[in-house]
Amino acid sequence: MEHDLTEKQAHPVRTRFELAIGRMMDAWLTAGRISVTAGDVKLAGEFLEQTGWKVEDATGARVRVVNRDGRAEEMTREAAVMIALRRLATRR
C-alpha cells in the first residue's frame, strides 16, 4: 500500500523538548532504563511551562510540578520528563 506523505502536513515543532525526546528515548532503550540529565529535565520543564504547568527544583534529585489546576506534586526528575512526554503525546 502506498502513502502520499505530502497529503498531511508535518506537525510543527514548537519546543526543543519535541526535538530532544527521540534522542532521550533512544538512549533509554540502549541503556535498558530511564535516566535523565539535568538538561533533559530543563527541556521537559520548558515544554511543561509552555502548556501552563510550573516546574520547580526540590530537594535532592527531585522537582516540584504544579499543574494548571494548582495541584503540586514532588517527584523524581524522570517522572517529570515522563509527564512531559505524555503531554506531548496527547497534543499531537
Res. 1: pLDDT tops 80: no
pLDDT at 8 over 90: no
- Give 32-71 pLDDT, tens digit per residue: 999 999 999 999 999 999 999 999 999 888 999 999 999 9
For residue 16, what pLDDT is reported?
93
Q: What is the pLDDT of residue 69?
A: 93
Q: How far apart are CA 67 and CA 75, in angstroms?
A: 13
24/20 Cα distance (integer angstroms): 6
Sorted by sequence, the CB contacts under 8 Å of residue 83 that are 6+ apart come out as 44, 48, 65, 75
> Is 5 a residue whose pLDDT tops 70?
no
SS3 content of the chain, % helix, strand, coil (to 5): 50, 15, 35
pLDDT score recorded for residue 48: 95
